[in-house]
């Protein structure tokens, strides 16, 4: 090892006793314990990413089952209920367990490196966020094994279909699992977002002013704000729904005076910002990649960031365009239509600026660039159909048809997923220290691009000739067959592409034959590329002093005065915190609390409903004890002394 370390001896030893009572796993923790107790943002980011890729496969299998069922009219690959469960789980999985956590994986791994920080502001909270995410994903997928199976309510779970009154299986628990899973996932997202905001505001290296932040970090900041403002709405909606289902309240039960409309408003005032929560990180990634492969700085940096912020802000003012057909009246409908059209402008600005960035550059077509270009074109199509839907008369035909399915898959696969794959191909060399096979990468891109368009472009047409979404089958004689078959073939091609891609990502961690990446294989621009690949445990041996935007590029090609400097070495070294069990324990407590609430009701032999809160209370106590121990376990930690020139 190039580094040597000593056990940290705090000058003030008052809380040392507590440190001994509850010792934190220290520097030399390895293996499973290391992964379970780690608070290193890079390891947490990797676990976020790998779990999300696993769920991508799960959601993908669900998608392929859906497509197989639609191969021809009146197929019976799935029963109608199974199909409805499939699309509910597919939607929920892809939104909450794939795209969001994949973005979070990059936020975790890359953002602190981009701003010159040791770690995020609250490393243990970061770990709690990860374990909550894993727990939430687990709860959602456990629903398959209990009464009624998975929820069959659609990913936006419109009331009153979620009401127990309209359950189609007696004692259906699917929606309950869905509710609790989303609540726990909400905790994960909120924790992560508060963490990222604090980190970006407080932990930037000296000289890293806000207007020198890399665009991806800016998007992290904007998305984090979106999350903390949007999630409370769905949290409230889910609490109300949980009360309706569990304790018989009437928030959404129209037969008792509840209002199903309320659910739609609460859901979409979360749900529309959620769309930008899904797409802005990908836009951030693409805004990093295009300058690198054009060898030019981002065109209109300020405007791109400002558009991102405007998109985020206006994202809260357009939610009702999901409800144009619910009878909101002329005025509300018109207002939301106009606001929705306005949001096209900042989105267009971004596309113009990406093209402006390439203008006059020296464009290289490596795999990340191909995915970025795929992103631009596919997102453009998704954006254009989005403009169509903002027009109410058009939406009156498109709403809930396959046209809408085509639209949001263009935005979420052609946009978000292509952007995230772009991020993998771009940053994995930084994470693994190895270059991936370019040819295989381009093959993956070709498969995904072809398969994707083959799947979703025909859906525009299918929607126009009248195929409604969320129908488990269609009748013969509507002319839907040919196009559905093309879509199904495309879906399998896309699936193969994604699986090969995932294989390539995972194997690049283990395949020692791959070419080493070196510090800056792409000749990239931002600060993280000034570090060695893979990044050392401590990130920066000495905190950099930032002199310019695009610091790595300036160090290589910029004038002398733009080169970054380093804070002087001191005998104190780099302080590394110890690992901790308590985030995992707290998350386990929350998991137990949710499971306990799910199963707290039983029917006793006399037919009475019996509520038993023992498990929820016990599990809740575990969570609280976890938090208390967390507070008491003390700082611990150790020091590393990197050599003079190491990074």
CB of 383 to another protein, least distance (A): 9
4-7 and 638-641 beta bridge pairing: antiparallel
- The answer to whether 464 contacts another protein (rule: CB under 8 A) is yes
- The answer to whether 631 contacts another protein (rule: CB under 8 A) is no
d(CA 408, CA 353): 23
Binding marks (x or -) toward another protein, 230..259, rule CB under 8 A?
A: ------------------------xx-xxx
For residue 534, is it left (φ>0), alpha (ψ between -120 and 50) or beta? beta
Comparing CB distances to another protein, the nearer of 470 and 601 is 470
Alpha carbon dihedral 271, 274, 276, 282, in 10-degree steps, equals -140
Choosing from 299, 421, 427, 630, the residue that interacts with another protein (CB under 8 A) is: 299
d(CA 310, CA 347): 9
Place of tokens 């018989």: 248
Contacts of 328 by beta carbon, 8 Å cutoff, 6+ apart: 320, 336
Choosing from 207, 232, 300, 620, the residue that interacts with another protein (CB under 8 A) is: 300
- In degrees, to the nearest 5, what angle opens at C-alpha 513 toward C-alphas 510 and 515? 105
Site for another protein in 10-49 (CB under 8 A): none
Choosing from 198, 249, 473, 507, the residue that interacts with another protein (CB under 8 A) is: 473
- The answer to whether 326 contacts another protein (rule: CB under 8 A) is yes
- Per-residue three-class SS string for 551-584: HHHHHHHCCHHHCCEECCCCCCCEEECCCCCHHH
Q: Which of 291, 180, 97, 120 is nearest to 593 (CA)?
A: 180
Question: For residue 132, what are its two tokens?
Answer: 């909550």
Choosing from 43, 296, 322, 434, the residue that interacts with another protein (CB under 8 A) is: 296
CB of 573 to another protein, least distance (A): 37
- In degrees, to the nearest 5, what angle opens at C-alpha 593 toward C-alphas 588 and 598? 125
Q: Is 171 helix (H, G, I), strand (E, B) or coil?
A: coil
d(CA 69, CA 63): 10
- Region near another protein per CB under 8 A, out of 96-104, 322-330, 503-511, 527-535: 322-330
Choosing from 114, 183, 217, 294, the residue that interacts with another protein (CB under 8 A) is: 294
Comparing CB distances to another protein, the nearer of 341 and 440 is 341
For 292-319, b where at least 16 C-beta lie within 10 A, e where not — what string? bbbbbebbbbebbbebbbbbbbbbbbbb
- The answer to whether 334 contacts another protein (rule: CB under 8 A) is yes
CB of 127 to another protein, least distance (A): 38
Comparing CB distances to another protein, the nearer of 138 and 351 is 351
Comparing CB distances to another protein, the nearer of 246 and 471 is 471
Site for another protein in 151-180 (CB under 8 A): 152-154, 158, 160-161, 166, 168
CB of 472 to another protein, least distance (A): 5
- The answer to whether 215 contacts another protein (rule: CB under 8 A) is no
Site for another protein in 351-410 (CB under 8 A): 351-353, 355-356, 358-365, 373, 376-377, 380-381, 384-385, 387-388, 390-397, 399-401
Alpha carbon dihedral 137, 375, 71, 470, in 10-degree steps, equals 50
- The answer to whether 496 contacts another protein (rule: CB under 8 A) is no
Site for another protein in 537-596 (CB under 8 A): 557
């Amino acid at each position: 090892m190039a580094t040597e370390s000593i056990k940290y001896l705090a000058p003030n030893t008052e809380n040392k006793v507590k440190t001994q009572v509850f010792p934190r796993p220290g520097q030399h923790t390895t293996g499973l314990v290391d992964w379970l107790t780690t608070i290193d943002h890079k390891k947490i980011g990797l676990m976020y990413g790998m779990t999300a890729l696993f769920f991508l496969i799960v959601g993908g299998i669900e998608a392929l089952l859906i497509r197989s069922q639609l191969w021809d009219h009146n197929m019976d690959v799935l029963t109608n209920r199974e199909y409805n469960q499939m699309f509910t789980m597919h939607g929920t999985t892809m939104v909450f367990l794939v795209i969001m956590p994949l973005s979070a994986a990059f936020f975790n791994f890359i953002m602190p490196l981009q701003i010159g920080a040791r770690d995020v502001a609250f490393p243990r909270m970061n770990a709690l966020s990860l374990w909550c995410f894993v727990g939430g994903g687990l709860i959602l997928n456990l629903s398959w094994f209990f009464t009624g199976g998975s929820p069959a309510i659609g990913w936006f779970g419109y009331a009153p279909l979620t009401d127990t009154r309209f359950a189609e299986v007696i004692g259906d628990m699917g929606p309950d699992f869905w509710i609790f899973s989303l609540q726990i996932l909400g905790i994960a997202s909120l924790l992560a977002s508060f963490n990222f905001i604090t980190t970006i505001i407080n932990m930037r290296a000296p000289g890293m002013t806000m207007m020198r932040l890399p665009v991806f970090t800016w998007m992290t900041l904007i998305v984090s704000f979106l999350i903390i403002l949007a999630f409370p709405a769905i949290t409230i909606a889910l609490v109300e729904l949980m009360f309706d289902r569990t304790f018989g309240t009437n928030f959404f039960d129209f037969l008792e005076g509840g209002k199903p409309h309320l659910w739609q408003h609460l859901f979409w005032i979360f749900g529309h910002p959620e769309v930008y929560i899904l797409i802005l990180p990908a836009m951030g990634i693409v805004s990093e990649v295009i300058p690198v492969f054009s060898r030019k700085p981002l065109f209109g940096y300020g405007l791109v960031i400002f558009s991102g912020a405007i998109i985020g802000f206006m994202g809260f003012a357009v939610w009702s365009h999901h409800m144009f057909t619910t009878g909101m009246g002329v005025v509300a409908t018109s207002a939301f239509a106009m606001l929705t059209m306005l949001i096209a402008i900042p989105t267009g600005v971004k596309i113009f600026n990406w093209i402006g960035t390439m203008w006059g550059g020296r464009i290289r077509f490596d795999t990340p660039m191909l995915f970025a270009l795929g992103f631009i074109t596919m997102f453009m199509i998704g954006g254009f159909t989005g403009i169509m839907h903002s027009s109410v008369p058009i939406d009156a035909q498109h709403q809930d048809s396959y046209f809408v399915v085509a639209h949001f898959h263009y935005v979420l696969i052609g946009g978000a997923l292509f952007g995230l794959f772009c991020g993998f191909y771009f940053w994995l060399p930084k994470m693994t220290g190895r270059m991936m096979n370019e040819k295989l990468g381009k093959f993956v891109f070709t498969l995904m691009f072809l398969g994707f368009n083959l799947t979703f472009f025909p859906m525009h047409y299918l929607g126009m000739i009248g195929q409604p979404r969320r129908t488990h089958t269609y009748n013969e004689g509507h002319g839907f067959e040919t196009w559905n078959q093309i879509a199904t073939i495309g879906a399998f091609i896309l699936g193969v592409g994604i699986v090969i891609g995932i294989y390539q990502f995972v194997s690049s961690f283990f395949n020692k034959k791959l070419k080493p990446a070196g510090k800056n294989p792409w000749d990239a621009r931002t600060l993280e590329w000034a570090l060695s690949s893979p990044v050392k445990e401590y990130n920066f041996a000495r905190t950099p002093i930032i002199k310019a935007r695009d610091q790595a590029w300036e160090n290589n090609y910029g004038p002398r005065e733009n080169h970054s400097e380093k804070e002087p070495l001191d005998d104190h070294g780099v302080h590394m915190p110890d690992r901790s069990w308590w985030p995992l324990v707290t998350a386990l407590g929350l998991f137990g609390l949710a499971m306990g609430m799910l199963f707290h009701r039983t029917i006793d032999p006399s037919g009475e409903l019996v509520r038993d809160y023992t498990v929820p209370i016990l599990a809740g106590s575990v969570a609280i004890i976890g938090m208390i121990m967390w507070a008491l376990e003390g700082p611990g930690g150790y020091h590393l002394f990197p050599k003079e020139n190491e990074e």
